[in-house]
Structure 1
């Protein structure tokens, strides 16, 4: 299985478990405060990982692997949408929505991520991927319907709004996905958590009990922090839309856990929506893309191995260990092989 697919599926499993567990905490923690604790847990846990890793390497960051000043606008934008606005909208919607339904509504993130990638950031797609997205949209619409022409499903719209924020986040993060995934996710967690904590205090919310705070922090590290690291690695290998497609299994993980943990009794529309979404995801998972393409000259830096796309010389003494990170130049080449819109295959069609 493609390395990027493994990263995306693991990210989906980790994040998919968040909705039902967060639902159990909402009775003890206010929504904005919970969003803050989830991201602070993510940021602090990943910061510890980052510092331990740096200590093990003698305090040295791999050359070319760390974030640069050019990355900051993309990182700040991704943090604002995905780390501040998105989680608050999710917690508000989740407070009055069954966790199983909320979990499936999170499929909207993949659809919106792909739409932005295709039509705003010009990422390639084909009819099979487009058809799959239509099926997921149909399932989402079915879940959001509340049976009245004049009834506005505000809770569902809040969750879909969170998904739009994360879709923007995903496309902005793609721009910096070649950099250190742990560093990216740690900064996003710490900044987003701190801002949400300030918003919670400003709204008059107080810290919960120690046990609830620790539970939220651990959940944030596992379902937000580790998931984001894996998601960034998947973006590096698959591109935005396809990573979002694989990530679409996350809501099914959450829905299944909701039914098992919380004993929810879903409406008939839940099962119909599940079938539509499952069909759409199957179309994504079975997609294949390959054609003759040309790589233009490219200079960048990221962790890599000396594969077919990395046949460069080193201007420093190299110990032969892989993967390694350093600035390197790709010479132009034309060839044909199966590929995805990874950091080396963002060509026009």
Structure 2
């Protein structure tokens, strides 16, 4: 008996995961801003990601120990996943954070937080035009509103300081993360903790190695600890939530929900750093809010066909998972094992998740 309602549950879980990812990452921006003056950008990027990687590694090892001999909730990374993960790590884990922290040296944290909405736009554009995810007019208009808000903030900085190098660096960071998001989508069916842990350890090691090679002066241990905790929450746990959202919503939709992150960062920046935004900031915030609303209220439903496929991920036996087992199953769900999907044609509300990569 199929249970299509479990698919709707997956959509709702995806939205929750995406918003949690947004809140965690958005909150990290003002805390990272407070550390910029104490640590060189490359070194700080390394500390943020190493804190993420080490924290998640500890969780991963404890979880593995507690599950010894038991079932796992997620499939581990395979050989074909590593090229995608490697590209995502270099773009989003090495280049992106450095560009962001360079941008933060000359850009107010509240404006920088709103500029980070450009990540969602660039993520969607790559997903639509390179990776061929579906989009409609409503989503496109929302994207234009978010772009307009980013341009307004950049223009405001240009009028005050000349060419807005800080804003351009932050936009560059957003492009790196957009590439990262689309490449990570390719491995989102695998263990989210393992993915985020590996990205943190590799990106942290590379950035710290670069910092050591150029003779960076290292801060106090309290600063290192603060950076590590900020990285674990804003980069590590946020990325775990983001990967889980990718699994349910696809890249462009997850990026749209993630656009809520800068508003969290902006609110904390105003309260924590005492910044006083002008009218342009509030106009930009309104434009971005309207754009995000259009994304969040989108609905997509039509008859579509699933082609036969084989893959491995945590799943329930819902309308999309009506397969037999070649092992003794105790009925526990979700459970993880390699499984086969027969060709299926039906209609229901859906996003371009790991099961809905069809043409329109």
- TM normalised by structure 2 equals 0.95
Contact 1:54 1:60 survives alignment (8 Å): no
Alignment pair present for 1:89 and 2:99:
yes
Residue matched to 1:37: 47
Aligned to 2:192: 181
Matched, 1:238 2:249: yes
Alignment of 1:210-221 (within 5 A): 210-221=221-232
Partner Cα separation in structure 2 for residue 64 and residue 266 of structure 1: 44
In 2, Cα distance between the equivalents of 1:240 and 1:165? 14
Structure 1 stretches of at least 4 aligned residues deviating more than 3 Å after TM superposition: 59-64, 146-151
After TM superposition, give the deviation of residue 316 of structure 1 in Å: 0.6
Look up the SS of the partner of 1:208 in the other structure: coil
List runs of 5+ in structure 1 lacking aligned partners.
none
Q: How does 1:34-183 map to 2 (within 5 A)?
A: 34-58=44-68, 62=72, 65-145=75-155, 146-148=157-159, 151-183=162-194
Q: What SS does structure 2 have at the residue aligned with 1:326?
A: strand
The DSSP-based 3-state class of the residue aligned with 1:310 is coil
Structure 2: state its 5+ residue gaps.
Answer: 1-10
TM-score by length of 1: 0.98
Paired residues for 1:162-311 under 5 Å: 162-311=173-322
Distance 1:147-1:229 versus aligned 2 partners, 3 A rule: closer
In 2, the alpha carbon distance for the partners of 1:73 and 1:60 equals 29
Superposed CA deviations along residues 166-223 of structure 1, whole A, max 9, x for unmatched, are 0000000000000000000000000000000011112221321010000100110011
Contact kept in structure 1, 2:308 and 2:341, CA below 8 Å: yes
Residue 151 (structure 1) shift: 3.5
Between 1:316-325 and 1:282-291, the stretch displaced more is: 316-325
SS at match of 1:28: coil
In the alignment, is the contact (CA less than 8 A) between 2:71 and 2:335 conserved in 1? no
Alpha-carbon distance, 1:116 to partner: 0.1
Q: Distance in 2 between matches of 1:348 and 1:158?
A: 35
* SS of the residue 1:72 aligns to: helix
Structure 2 contact 73–334 (Cα < 8 Å) conserved: no
Aligned to 1:6: 16
Could you say what secondary structure the match of 1:337 adopts? strand
- Superposition RMSD in Å: 1.5
After superposition, what is the alpha-carbon deviation per residue over 1:9-59, rounded to whole angstroms, capped at 9, x for unaligned? Answer: 000000000110111111221211111000000000000111011000116
- Structure 1 counterpart of 2:8: none
Give a deviation string over 1:99-136, Cα, whole Å, max 9, x none.
00000000000000000000000000010000000000
What SS is found at the alignment partner of 1:2?
helix
2: CA distance between counterparts of 1:63 and 1:275?
40
1-structure distance, mates of 2:178, 2:158: 28
The structural deviation recorded for 1:60 is 6.5
Determine the C-alpha separation between the residues in 2 that align with 1:207 and 1:51. 29
Aligned residue-pair number: 349
Q: Secondary structure at the match of 1:319?
A: coil
